[in-house]
Chains A and B, each alone.
Chain A
Amino acid sequence: MQTFLGVPAPLLFGQLLIGLINGSFYALLSLGLAVIFGVLNIINFAHGAFYMVGAFAGWMLLNYLGIGYWPALILAPLIVGAIGIVIERSLLSRLYDLDHLYGLLLTFGLAMIIEGVFINFYGVSGQPYAPPQALSGGYNLGFMFLPAYRGWVVVASLLVCFGTWLLVERTQLGAYLRAAVENRELVRAFGVNVPLMMTLTYGFAVALAGFAGILAGPVYTVSPVMGQNMIIVVFAIVVIGGMGSILGSIVTGIGIGLVEGLTRTFWPEASSTAVFVIMAIVLIIRPHGLFGRPRE
């Protein structure tokens, strides 16, 4: 059997694949956080809860309404996005003139409510959600076995991440968004409906979290606590990448996933801590993150 630094190659590549998949979810989630932070100036603590709601939306559509994976892949993010829009209009929009910390605290409370309700109805153990028939098999790549669904997860998230990056960096709408980050009043003076833009941005970003959730359903089990475990890592990734940097969040998300995979191969106990150690090192060397600009 081939070995690599004393580790069997299939094990190493297997862990790297898991890392890449986790990294895809990290990228989708930290991307959404970066967009929300950039435009609304809010740390969305409820992002993990929306990810969980996305997974549950897929599960519920299947189990209560018999709607399969492919329609749910569109419907679940739409549902989550709609919930996000209601929350932004009714709650978050009241906080924009206050210290940013209140946004964090409000969304923290929201996360407690959403997760608490789901825990009360479904317990903390997970619900199984099977991958669609078309993606149930796998491919033998010679050096490792690649389950088809996991390959799809990586491709789908990369496409969505790239699409979002294009939207923000290369379109007129994105230009407004970036301008609003710099100077909200000026953009408003140009006749752009800034509050509407902020509402849609929040809706879109939490829909990204919902999309990550339904993608994750068949990989992990669908559980009310799946978002809690994810969100802190994603926060660390956002800090490492540099707050508000779109590209930084994508690259760092995938990179951290891979680093976790490598750590799990060579030093399993340290794998869940690796990201925080990296964050501490990055902060000491580059306080504004790898891709961020120095502030103030």
Chain B
Amino acid sequence: MSEAVVHSTPKPNRRAVGWILAAIGLAILLVAPFLGIYPIFLMKLMCFALFAAAFNLMLGYVGLLSFGHAAFFGMSAYVAGHAVKVWGVGTILGIAGGTLAAAIMGVVFGAIAIRQRGIYFAMITLALAQMVYFFCLQAPFTHGEDGIQGIPRGSVFGLVNLHDPLAMYYFVAAIFLAGYLIIYRTVNSPFGEALKGIRENEPRMISLGYPVARIKVAAFTISAALTGLAGATKAIVFQTATLTDVHWHMSGEVVLMTLIGGMGTVFGPVVGAGVIIALQNYLATIGSWVTVVMGTIFVVCVLTFRRGIVGELQSRLKLFG
């Protein structure tokens, strides 16, 4: 899946453009709640953008398509929701717990799935996620079809009341930024270079002496943990954790977000999540035809638009720049 990726070493002016874009992004993030956009929509967008970016860490940078990331997203939501609602732990601790649970699952799933590549990897992650789905369907603490409802938002260290929508918004924005920075650092580090090396030519990396299997499991764990961070945060924002979050449709949705935004790009998953979440919001009136629209986007993307929005822009800019 490497064709979507631009392989140029960042030139100084390119880096400056990157910083300017990042600054603009940060400014938009900070003033967004004052632009009259529904805050819940923005928070949902950030949760899914983080989810997609974490997923893209595997697909875009290691070249492994996980079709089971909903397991980390949903399980983390359940753990965070249960911890906050039933055990009464603080919001931060609840989110940390969900993230940790997802990270542990990431290690185990990674260790099993990483022995395969390409479509085999996709199918194995899908099947493992399905195991989690059935667990969540039957385990008592998830409340089956009802899910966990009415999760209290609580406060940050007893100081900031998260029931205030604006406070909640900046709390989610902080988590989103932190998660994004981790992904950015991971990708732009020697570890990230090793990941791209594995994507391009795995046998070469093995013969160079890289512990490829361990690197892949580590990447998978980071990806799973950040997916868990997104899931736990979503549970706090919406105050619910349900089976939808663990269902494989969710895994498919995040693939679609990444694909439409541009896999292997830093901002692609955010753009993709924005497009899909906006579509779901504005097409809500057409009911389950949304599925058909999504499916059509999938097919069109695969046939004609494989680089995604950001990937396409990047290659155009490089062409004319």
Chain A residues close to B by CB (< 8 Å): 43, 91, 94-95, 98-106, 108-117, 119-120, 232-233, 235-236, 238-239, 243, 269, 272-273, 275-277, 279-280, 283-284, 287
Contact = CB atoms under 8 A, between A and B. Distances in A.
A106 B127 contact: no
Interface in B266-293: 287-292
Given A113-B299, A232-B248, A104 B65 contact: yes
Measured as residues with beta carbon below 8 angstroms from the partner, the interface class of chain B is: 35 or more
B interface secondary structure, majority: helix
A96 to B, nearest CB: 13
| B120, B291, B296, most chain A CB atoms within 10 A | B120
B138 interface: yes
Nearest to A103: B119
A187 B252 CA distance: 36
A120 B259 contact: no
16 contacts: A101-B65, A102-B306, A105-B259, A109-B294, A109-B295, A109-B301, A112-B252, A112-B292, A119-B291, A239-B123, A269-B138, A276-B130, A279-B124, A279-B127, A280-B131, A283-B116
B5 interface: no
Given A106-B298, A116-B292, A117-B292, A239 B122 contact: no
B302 A239 contact: no
Given A101-B118, A102-B302, A106-B302, A112 B126 contact: no
Contacts of A232: 126-127, 130, 248
A48 to B, nearest CB: 11
B302 A235 contact: no
Given A280-B131, A287-B115, 4 more contacts: A100-B119, A114-B295, A272-B134, A279-B127
B65 A112 contact: no
B254 interface: no
Contacts of A113: 291-292, 295-296, 299
Interface in B32-86: 65
B93 to A, nearest CB: 30
Nearest to A289: B120
Residue with the highest number of chain B CB atoms closer than 10 Å, among A112, A269, A272: A112
Contacts of A94: 303
Nearest to B123: A235
- Give the one of A105, A106, A280 with max B CB within 10 A: A105
A260 B26 CA distance: 52
B303 A106 contact: yes
A108 B248 CA distance: 11
B175 interface: no
A232 B138 CA distance: 18
A104 B248 contact: no
Contact of B299 (A91, A116, A235): A91
Given A108-B252, A109-B296, A116 B289 contact: yes
Contacts of A287: 115-116
